[in-house]
Amino acid sequence: MPPEDQTETLLLTLTGADRPGVTRTLFDTLATVHPIVLDVEQTVTRGHLTLSALLEVTGREAEVSALVQRAAYGLGMTATVTRGRGDNEPRRRGRVAITLLGHPLTGRHLSAVSGVIAGHGANIDRIRRLSRYPVTTIEFDVSGADLDVLRRDLALVAAAEGVDIASSPAGLARRGRRLVVMDVDSTLIQDEVIELLAAHAGREAEVAAVTEQAMRGELDFAASLHARVAALEGLDESVLGRVRDAVQLTPGARTLVRTLKRLGFTVAVVSGGFIEVVQPLADELGIDHARANTLEIVDGKLTGRVLGEVVDRAGKAAALREFAADEGLPLARTVAIGDGANDLDMIEAAGLGIAFNAKPVVRALADTAVNVPYLDAVLYLLGITREEVEEADLLDEGTTVPPRV
């Protein structure tokens, strides 16, 4: 119906305890007046139902009001009927999805976010909860916003309030197949592989100090890699197998990959670590693409050198572009997740760049940051709810929800 339409309409709202059959009872009661239904929306919060319907019932408004009150009385609910003209106002351009994650999430957080939205003259059209545990996630569907400006101001709120806030284009831009590219060390897994290897050489502290400098962006990554790998000279190649067995996935990693694959997404990993560890891990998880450095091994011993071009900051971004081209996806359909300075180029190149428990320099430049220790929280930034994840797991695996690993 065009915005200028002036047909008289009624907005009906029923509230009360949820139960099966509320919607049917309402529309059964109204069947005698043959209403034209323009819109219906229903929400349930802790067993309390709110059902709204926008109807065109020209000339029978009083009769409809009486019927609605009768239906509400029979259901033990409260009803309101409001007269107006035309359909819903068309939603303004500039649609943005704002995702708010907190543990806990407080009224102060919602006040700060909604205040920024209002201050930009934007409108909150819908709010829904995406998860309750282990973090609470709320999604705002907003229209009339300038994404870049809003994202900048919400980043300031996130830093000041200690809460995670993500802003991304809404509508069709949020749907469809994507490529998700992840860093490995301290992102997909909890460990730094080179430090695990260095522990077998008795040089873990030395290597860890260099790693930290590189991740903060204080040291050129390629130079730091060569220095750290040199400390591994002489290690038996059998150590690689022991390290593969020792790595610990980040909580939620399997859930993230499993859910993305169910959606038909392409998943990739890029690492400044070593393909000898990364590829078996990718194969185990069903990850589509893997890119990492290759250790030189001669006569069953690590030589302390790497082969070929180093997968550094620029190499990670190049891999993201290559994987996207292979999958026929534009960069706007890519997501990059990382924690260190060597992830910055791919985070900036991706359509959505996510800093995961990252260094300050990465959080400052990424589109959004996730600071909870659960990798599957990334799903909420894509508009996927915890309930949808668990329902899919139940369908595949039986009657109990699998553990979050």
Q: What is the pLDDT along the chain (405 residues), one digit of tens a residue?
A: 444 567 889 999 999 999 999 999 999 999 999 999 999 999 999 999 999 999 998 888 999 999 999 999 999 999 999 998 888 776 677 899 999 999 899 999 999 999 999 999 999 999 999 999 889 999 999 999 999 899 999 999 998 998 999 998 887 767 889 999 999 999 999 999 999 999 998 988 888 888 788 777 777 888 889 989 999 999 999 999 999 999 999 999 999 999 999 999 999 999 999 999 999 999 999 999 999 999 999 999 999 999 999 999 999 999 999 999 999 999 999 999 999 999 999 999 999 999 999 988 899 899 889 999 999 999 999 999 999 999 988 887 654 544 544
Looking at the fold, whether 143 and 196 belong to one and the same domain comes out as no
Looking at the fold, whether 185 and 116 belong to one and the same domain comes out as no
Token couple for 74: 């029979």
Looking at the fold, whether 186 and 322 belong to one and the same domain comes out as yes
Q: What is the total count of domains within the chain?
A: 3
Residue 369's nearest CA partner among 402, 325, 339 is 339
Residues 93, 179: Cα–Cα separation, whole Å: 26
Local structure of residue 93 (DSSP, 8 states): S
Domain final residue, candidates 55, 85, 115: 85
Residue 313's nearest CA partner among 280, 361, 277 is 361
Is the residue at 44 inside a domain?
yes
Sign of CA dihedral 82, 87, 92, 93: positive
Is the residue at 403 inside a domain?
no
Strand order in the sheet with 36-45: 36-45, 48-56, 8-17, 78-85
β-pair partners for 129? 138
Q: Give the domain CATH number at 231.
A: 3.40.50.1000
Token couple for 258: 């499993």
Residues 289, 356: Cα–Cα separation, whole Å: 20
The answer to whether 300 touches 330, Cβ cutoff 8 Å, is no
The pTM of the full predicted model, rounded to 2 decimals, is: 0.84
Looking at the fold, whether 322 and 203 belong to one and the same domain comes out as yes
Is the residue at 1 inside a domain?
no
Local structure of residue 309 (DSSP, 8 states): S
The answer to whether 206 touches 177, Cβ cutoff 8 Å, is no
Domain final residue, candidates 143, 175, 207: 175
Is the residue at 259 inside a domain?
yes
Looking at the fold, whether 50 and 105 belong to one and the same domain comes out as no
Looking at the fold, whether 33 and 110 belong to one and the same domain comes out as no
Strands 96-102 and 136-143: antiparallel
Phi, psi of 110 (to 5 degrees): -65, -35
Looking at the fold, whether 243 and 259 belong to one and the same domain comes out as yes
Is the residue at 209 inside a domain?
yes
Residues labelled catalytic: 183, 185
Looking at the fold, whether 61 and 209 belong to one and the same domain comes out as no
Q: Give the domain CATH number at 29.
A: 3.30.70.260
The answer to whether 119 touches 150, Cβ cutoff 8 Å, is no
Is the residue at 302 inside a domain?
yes
β-pair partners for 183? none
Which residue reads 């929306």 in tokens?
Answer: 41
Looking at the fold, whether 292 and 373 belong to one and the same domain comes out as yes
Helix, strand, or coil (residue 336): strand
Token couple for 254: 């399997």
Strands 352-356 and 334-338: parallel
Token couple for 234: 């002489």
Looking at the fold, whether 171 and 184 belong to one and the same domain comes out as no
Looking at the fold, whether 161 and 187 belong to one and the same domain comes out as no
Is the residue at 215 inside a domain?
yes
Is the residue at 402 inside a domain?
no
Domain final residue, candidates 43, 61, 85: 85
What is the domain range of residue 100?
96-175
Which residue reads 């059998």 in tokens?
Answer: 238
Residue 90's nearest CA partner among 168, 9, 1, 12 is 1
Helix, strand, or coil (residue 308): coil
Looking at the fold, whether 100 and 230 belong to one and the same domain comes out as no
